[in-house]
Structure 1
Amino acid sequence: MRHKYRTRLLKSPTGDQVVLDLIEAVRNRSLGIVQFLLADSSVDVNLKDETGHTPLSWAARTRRPLVVQALLKVEGICADEKDDEGLTPLSWAAGWRGFKVELTREFGKRHRRVSEGTGHIRIVESLLARVDVDVNSQDDEGWTPLWWAASARNLNAMRCLLKRDDIDVNSRDSCGRTILSRAVETELLSVVNLLLDKDDVDINAKDDKGRTLLSLVSQKDDWEMVDSLLRREDIIDINATDQVGRTPLLWASLAGHLRIVERLLLAEHIDPDVKDENHQTPLSIAAELGHANVARALALRKTVDIDSKDLHGRTPLSWAAGQGHFAIVDHLLRDRDADANSRDNNGRTPMWWAAEKGHLKVVTILESYDKTTLHSLISEGNQPAVCVVLSAGYDINKLDSRKQTPLHVAVRNNRVNLAKMLISHQASLDVKDNLDMTPLSLALQNHGQDLVKLLLKSSASSADINVSGWFAGYRQSSILCLTGTKEGWRCVQYDDNIIIRDVLPKPLIPSDGEKRLFLFKDSSAWKRSLGSISGDAPQSYKIQTSPSRFVLERSWYESIHFSASLSMPQEPPRSYRKTFRMPYLGEIRVMWSIRPSKDDLGWKAVDLLSTLQDSSVPSDATELYTQFIFAVEAMWLKLCDRAEDHVSQCRLDQLREKGQSAELIHRLAEDAQKWLDLRLMLRDHIQAADELAILYFRHFNGGDGLNQVQSALQRLEVQVNRRLNTLDQITRDLVQLEFTWVAVREANKSTSIAKSIRRIRWITFIFLPAMFASNFFGVNITFLKENPEWRWYILIGGAVLVLTVFGWLTFKHNRIWSQSLEASYLKLNKQFKVSKLGLSKEEWLH
């Protein structure tokens, strides 16, 4: 063999063939041939074959320590040359002999799989002894020799490598993984322990997904490794989050590893409420996945937020209920008092999710804690979920924040089928919400005629629904007929052109318990449909009744119609003054028909007709006529309100005019007359109403109901008269105040005249002495015959003025003279009423 290589060497002077022969000899493990070929000094030992391998690389790969040593002795050899995959001889030596590299694609990334084997420690040591060997050299995948030794579980090689001070134990491959994370993924516990003994190893280093070593081992359920890591609590980041925000505790909860969760919860700095990118906590994930023991362990920790909401607003209880995990739901409710009424971003409660998924057992335990889920399901029209909730024994009359029952909600949202279902489960029909609305009144308000028929058929009470409420439900018609039987009420709407007198039954004996109530939206519908049967058109401001007393003489078997009406139109203006005028108060009418009863013991009212919009459905003629009187009372009270507003305006006008308006006193006088006219009108109304009451109730109703009607009339009289008395008193006060304003105004005029007289008196007081002095100079006196100078005039005038003032002061302060003047003032005041001039006694004395 050696002769063959020698002959080939002589024939091929080039070194390339020699290198190929050398590589072949290394691969064949022929130490002698290798030594023979290395004896040729012209051989380039660093030359590579078609795969990029050098002879040293092949020697390390084939685990030939003697060949490696021989090659390393060659001068100029490169001991750190990389092959086409970037592996150095040290990487091959740290791995295993004859290993197979498999490159696969998984999730779009390249991965290298290495089978278990042992490397040759002598080769590793020989390579590490050289200074030109880079112990941290990375191949194309970012793997270093330490990576290869760890992957091959070559602990001896790892120990040799870890002795180097320049070894990088935290290097990352092309995927961003560290050796530790790779070792944990492949479950190489011995490798992990060996790496953890290195002081500079970063146990908090994160891989390409942001996961730490603790995060990985927590998911792997490696309790010993977790415990070993947690003993380094001073340096380990126990709450480190990965790229999706998950902590080791959250990964352990996700995997359902109870022992790992319990060990993590014992850590001093553990935060059990760290949320991932979906804002889910460990408890939320455990509840969702049904890990009952893990969820219980987390929930028992008092610092855990039991009602923490995720990105969708769902709590742990919501997830557990939606997935049907009964044990978790029971524990969260009983032991931690979780909020069973918490709503997610779509307004759905835990019970909603349980009912939606059909988890009857979970719904049963949530029933006693929940408040409004049934309301929400009915509002959405989720009939299958409603069936589940009702099957669980849910309180069908539970009230929500608006004090509405589920039946209210079904009516409000026009859910006819759900309303039928609720009624079949004995739902209360007459519960009132915070606006005093029953399901029936709500159905009328929302124009749900099908629901109205259903509720009436189910005997829902209509006592609190007035006529306007019925027309709100049947807004297309101006005439309604409510038929009452033993089974309940039934509503029929008529066309506006219908003639009610043709609908009224013939004079036959009525059926037991049957009655009808015709409702009219206004008087025009009444006149159009009833015609002459309703009597004459009502006169303004008068209560007209029919029939008169002559009906007593009619045949016993004829139908008799009783009616009462009142029209209060607006009064036209009577003068230019702003006097009170009757406002428009509308027109009201009622009528009822009576017939002989079946047992011939009296009469019975079978048809009731009414235009009263604010009254409830009457049960008989007594209640209908009482409602009419109450409507009359309401009209009167409204009239009194308008009158009080008018009087208040008069008071404002009076304060503004302050007695200067000559028209106001006449306006008040006309108002006082108006109040008197209203008293007379009220008396006529009460008298007419009382006459009809006596006629019907005494002769056709056996006296029943007469006291009730007369009590209503008495109340009408008392209340309206009290208001009219108030108007009278206010008007009288305004008249008296107007007189006072006029008197004050006249007094102000007298005071002004008195001041003017006083000014004239003072002028005279000064002017008279001056005039006396001037006249003195005009008298023919010897003393003045020489026409003295004008200065004498000033002297004499001043002297006369001084004497005048002296005399005035003497008379003023002389008691006898003052008494004489006072007596004269009293005498004059008695005869001429001097005080009316606005002069007091002191002013007179002055």
Structure 2
Amino acid sequence: MEDELSISEDYDNYADRQQTLLWKAVEAGQEDTARSLLRHDFIRINETDYEGRTLLLLAVGLGHTNIVECLLDRHDIDVNLQDGNGNLPLNEAAGNGHEAISSLLLEKDDIGVNLKDGDKRTPLIKAASNGHGAIVRQLLERNDIDVNLGNDEGDTPLVEAAWNGHETVVSLLLGKTDIQPNARGESGITPLYTAAAEGHNIVVGLLLERDDIELNVKTSSDETPLFAAANNGHESVTKLLLSRDGIDLNVNCHGDTPLSAALDRGHKVVSELLLYQEGNELEHNGSIDRGYFLLSKALDRGLQDIASKILIAKISRNVEIPIGRSPLSWAAERNKTDQIRSILRIDTLDPNLRDAQGRTPLSRAAECDSISVVSLLLESSRIDVNNGDLDGRTPLSIAADTQNYAVVSILVTRDTVTLHSLVREGNLSSVEILLDNRYDINTKNGVGQSSLHVAVDNNRFDIAVRLLSRGANVNAEDHSSTTPLCLAVQQKRRDFAELLLDYSATGAYAVAYFPILQLDLSKGKITWEGCGVGWSMGKLGQDSGSVRYFSMLQESGIPDDGYELFQQLLAESTSKWLEFCIQFEDHLSHVRLDQLKSQGKRPETISHLAENALHIAQLRRALQGQVRSAEEFNTDLGRLHGGGKEQRAFEYIHTFADIRQQLQILDETIRDLLQFEFAWASINEAHKSTSLAISMKRLSWITFIFLPAMFAASLFGMNVDILENNPDWRWYLLFMGSLLVLTTIGWSLYAD
């Protein structure tokens, strides 16, 4: 028996050594050694090494044709077995251009010509992608080949060949009757698009020879073959595409056309090809990529000839640009006077259009201190000097801030708003620059206000002093006939009033306006919420009644005397206090509902109620003070003016004082709520005490039950000598049971 085992082990070791020799022979390309070893049946032909490779894949990868032939002679070889990386023999041979090996593999009946490897690519895709025409021809001779089978992204062999410009492979594939020349992958890429994008003009020509080729198919990014060729500057491809009827010249790819894309990239020849093509819509109905007009793109890329031709074609449009610059803005900033003249000749162009940064062309020129450009722009009657940037700055204010005095001297003759805005901002230095350049100091804005009005209205005292010293009209009136002095009096600015009076200002009065539709002429009364009314008696009578009245009441008429005004005040105060009491009562109702829901389980309720009680106490004190003040005022008023009307006023005061009863009711309600809350809290505490007592009783029972067991365990644990002879474990139970009985008897006697 031992001899047989020894023989078996020797045989296994021998077989392993032979298998190892075969791997070395295949790797070294030793055909004779490989053939000799492959005759043995114990050779594992489909074995994989530590890298997951099979013998066949190793030979294919190294290009050992003779070794591959030897391996294929074995009837048990699996020609479609993948290695650990998903590689297949035929796919590797086709991808690496091993024509002879591919031919040997294709002779096998069970070879899978449409299998995908770990990269999800078929043998035909790999051969076509790498331009191995002979292998592609071998594969196409197979009847079971699928010429349109793509990878996982949908890219077919024709797409791969077109992308890499393999003309022979493309020609072979197009010769198949079942080829799909317009097959699209997940990204929508077609063979024509890939060839056009890469500039493979011969491949593009082969594809365009087919009548069924689609010229304007869009990718997932809305690009067409013409757009890709123009964007990448491929002149020959662009010519080929433009020679075909039905080509779309105006495809919109995220706001770009083929022409705008070529201009944006600076491709002059391609741009000219597209510009002169019939059917090209030069006016784009929308914003172009990065906000440039076609003209801006041409100017920005230095394509002056094309820019001039575009200007002649009048293609510029006035669209709001999300990002970028208008042609006029670009030319104004760069002092391109010739281009500015050409642009201004376009009637459809708005010369005041703001760019993406909110700047106008004139403000750009003013900032750059370009006198020639500013003068040229001002020659156009369409230029609005007062049109400011998005931040409110005008060209004149920008020139003043940058101290471009020459530009300031040009702009001051036509500007009518900058001085007002600078005064409003308090920019004294820029104001002085404008005045030094003879700006009209008395220019008025849209409401007729002069710069002095604006200085008073915005509390710019230093600027007002400077304006007056420069000769500002101190008595200028706006559209409402208000002078600076009147404005200063209305706004209670004494320093301005004194300053204006020093310069002989006159006419300090105020005018009030009321809504006519709200007047009730029969009663001589106006109701206007939030308005204060003031009036004065024109002529005093024999009595010493009140002369001036000022009322901030919601509803107010002209009272006969001070008593009637005082009564209106008391009635209004009583109404406000009652309204407050109603709101407080509603608040306490909500507190009561919350109290019933919580059942005394919210500790903060007591503090909230105590806070409310404090508020009521403070309100009662405030009300008492108001009532006392009203009584004292009524007494003093009666002593001074008499007339017997003080008694009527006391009736209003007593009604006002009755508010104390409402506050008393609210106080009692709060006390009741506090008592309820204390009761709920007491009940909850009692429940907690009862629950705690029950828990303690249960704990006592548990202690009595486990006490004997714990005592027995501790006894055995301390007396180690008892356990020396390994006594029976039932002794522990007997001892524990005895203690439990004794404990129970003792507890019963104690309980009795």
Query: What is the TM-score when the length of structure 1 is the normalising length?
Result: 0.49
- Conserved 8 A contact 2:370-2:407: no
Aligned position for 1:246: 256
Aligned position for 2:227: 215
TM-fit CA distance, 1:134 = 1.0
- Conserved 8 A contact 1:135-1:167: yes
Aligned position for 2:564: none
- Conserved 8 A contact 1:292-1:327: no
SS of corresponding position for 2:319: coil
- Conserved 8 A contact 1:171-1:179: yes
- Conserved 8 A contact 2:399-2:408: no
Structure 1 residues 2 and 363: CA distance shift in structure 2, 3 A:
same
Structure 1 residues 249 and 161: CA distance shift in structure 2, 3 A:
same
Aligned position for 1:189: 201
Distance (Å, rounded) in 2 between the aligned partners of 1:86 and 1:573: 110
Distance (Å, rounded) in 1 between the aligned partners of 2:56 and 2:101: 11
1:42 to 49, 57, 76: 76
Aligned position for 1:725: none
Query: 2:153 aligned with 1:153, yes or no?
Result: no
Corresponding letter in the other structure for 1:270: N
Aligned position for 1:268: 278
Distance (Å, rounded) in 2 between the aligned partners of 1:284 and 1:451: 43
TM-fit CA distance, 1:83 = 1.8
**Fraction of identical pairs, as percent:** 27
TM-fit CA distance, 1:81 = 2.4
Aligned position for 2:384: 371
Distance (Å, rounded) in 1 between the aligned partners of 2:160 and 2:200: 13
Structure 1 residues 151 and 247: CA distance shift in structure 2, 3 A:
closer
1:443-462 paired onto structure 2 within 5 Å: 443=455, 448-462=460-474
Larger strand proportion of the pair: 1
Corresponding letter in the other structure for 2:123: P
Corresponding letter in the other structure for 1:261: S
CA displacement 1:468-523 (0-9 Å, x = unmatched): 735336434779999xxxxxxx8566xxxxxxxxxxxxxxxxxxxxxx9597969x
2:112 to 78, 84, 87: 78
Distance (Å, rounded) in 2 between the aligned partners of 1:51 and 1:408: 78
Corresponding letter in the other structure for 2:261: W
Distance (Å, rounded) in 2 between the aligned partners of 1:13 and 1:480: 113
Aligned position for 2:155: 143
Distance (Å, rounded) in 1 between the aligned partners of 2:241 and 2:165: 21
- Conserved 8 A contact 2:352-2:387: no
Aligned position for 1:592: none
Distance (Å, rounded) in 2 between the aligned partners of 1:210 and 1:298: 25
Aligned position for 1:224: 236
1:559-574 paired onto structure 2 within 5 Å: 570=538
TM-fit CA distance, 1:419 = 1.8
Structure 1 residues 405 and 127: CA distance shift in structure 2, 3 A:
closer
Corresponding letter in the other structure for 2:155: W
Aligned position for 2:407: 392
2:350 to 339, 343, 352: 339
- Conserved 8 A contact 2:295-2:327: yes
1:257-336 paired onto structure 2 within 5 Å: 257-274=267-284, 275=286, 276=288, 280-286=292-298, 291-302=303-314, 304-311=315-322, 315-321=326-332, 327-334=338-345
Structure 1 residues 410 and 150: CA distance shift in structure 2, 3 A:
closer
SS of corresponding position for 2:39: helix
Aligned position for 1:496: none
Distance (Å, rounded) in 2 between the aligned partners of 1:15 and 1:375: 85
1:463-478 paired onto structure 2 within 5 Å: 469=483, 471-472=485-486, 474-475=488-489, 476=492
1:355 to 358, 366, 372: 366
TM-fit CA distance, 1:462 = 4.6
Structure 1 residues 339 and 54: CA distance shift in structure 2, 3 A:
closer
Aligned position for 2:35: 5
Distance (Å, rounded) in 1 between the aligned partners of 2:411 and 2:395: 17
Structure 2, unaligned stretches of length 5 or more?
Answer: 1-30, 510-536, 548-752
CA displacement 1:43-98 (0-9 Å, x = unmatched): 333233334344333433443434333332323222222221122222333344xx
Structure 1 residues 228 and 27: CA distance shift in structure 2, 3 A:
closer
Corresponding letter in the other structure for 1:392: V
TM-fit CA distance, 1:423 = 0.9
CA displacement 1:287-323 (0-9 Å, x = unmatched): 5666544433222213x24433323796432344356
Stretch of structure 1 that moved more, 329-338 or 377-386: 377-386
1:418 to 407, 414, 430: 430
- Conserved 8 A contact 1:317-1:332: yes
More contact order relative to length (CA 8 Å, sep ≥ 6): 1
Distance (Å, rounded) in 1 between the aligned partners of 2:35 and 2:387: 95
Structure 1 residues 309 and 10: CA distance shift in structure 2, 3 A:
same
Distance (Å, rounded) in 2 between the aligned partners of 1:222 and 1:345: 32
Corresponding letter in the other structure for 2:189: R
Corresponding letter in the other structure for 1:91: I
Aligned position for 1:108: none
1:102-141 paired onto structure 2 within 5 Å: 118-121=131-134, 123-141=135-153
Distance (Å, rounded) in 2 between the aligned partners of 1:47 and 1:440: 95
Structure 1 residues 374 and 131: CA distance shift in structure 2, 3 A:
closer
Distance (Å, rounded) in 1 between the aligned partners of 2:482 and 2:77: 116
TM-fit CA distance, 1:347 = 6.7
Structure 1 residues 517 and 439: CA distance shift in structure 2, 3 A:
closer
Structure 1 residues 159 and 427: CA distance shift in structure 2, 3 A:
same
Distance (Å, rounded) in 2 between the aligned partners of 1:8 and 1:299: 81
1:821-836 paired onto structure 2 within 5 Å: none
Aligned position for 1:68: 102
1:235 to 242, 246, 269: 246
Corresponding letter in the other structure for 2:195: A
SS of corresponding position for 1:157: helix
Corresponding pairs, count: 473
- Conserved 8 A contact 2:486-2:507: no
TM-fit CA distance, 1:184 = 3.4
SS of corresponding position for 2:483: helix
Corresponding letter in the other structure for 2:143: V
- Conserved 8 A contact 2:128-2:158: yes
TM-fit CA distance, 1:124 = 1.9
CA displacement 1:373-416 (0-9 Å, x = unmatched): 4877667995556546642265444456xxx3543444455443
Structure 1 residues 517 and 236: CA distance shift in structure 2, 3 A:
closer
Structure 1 residues 226 and 492: CA distance shift in structure 2, 3 A:
same
CA displacement 1:134-155 (0-9 Å, x = unmatched): 1122234543322333344332
- Conserved 8 A contact 2:56-2:89: yes
Corresponding letter in the other structure for 1:469: T
Corresponding letter in the other structure for 1:391: A
Distance (Å, rounded) in 2 between the aligned partners of 1:393 and 1:86: 70
Corresponding letter in the other structure for 2:262: A
- Conserved 8 A contact 1:229-1:236: yes
CA displacement 1:657-690 (0-9 Å, x = unmatched): xxxxxxxxxxxxxxxxxxxxxxxxxxxxxxxxxx
TM-fit CA distance, 1:241 = 1.5
CA displacement 1:227-257 (0-9 Å, x = unmatched): 221222x321111122x22111221221233
TM-fit CA distance, 1:31 = 4.3
Distance (Å, rounded) in 2 between the aligned partners of 1:36 and 1:405: 96
TM-fit CA distance, 1:162 = 0.8
TM-fit CA distance, 1:130 = 1.0
Corresponding letter in the other structure for 2:109: E
Distance (Å, rounded) in 2 between the aligned partners of 1:146 and 1:25: 29
Distance (Å, rounded) in 1 between the aligned partners of 2:232 and 2:75: 57
Structure 1, unaligned stretches of length 5 or more?
Answer: 97-117, 483-489, 494-515, 523-568, 575-583, 585-846
Distance (Å, rounded) in 2 between the aligned partners of 1:81 and 1:125: 18
TM-fit CA distance, 1:334 = 4.5
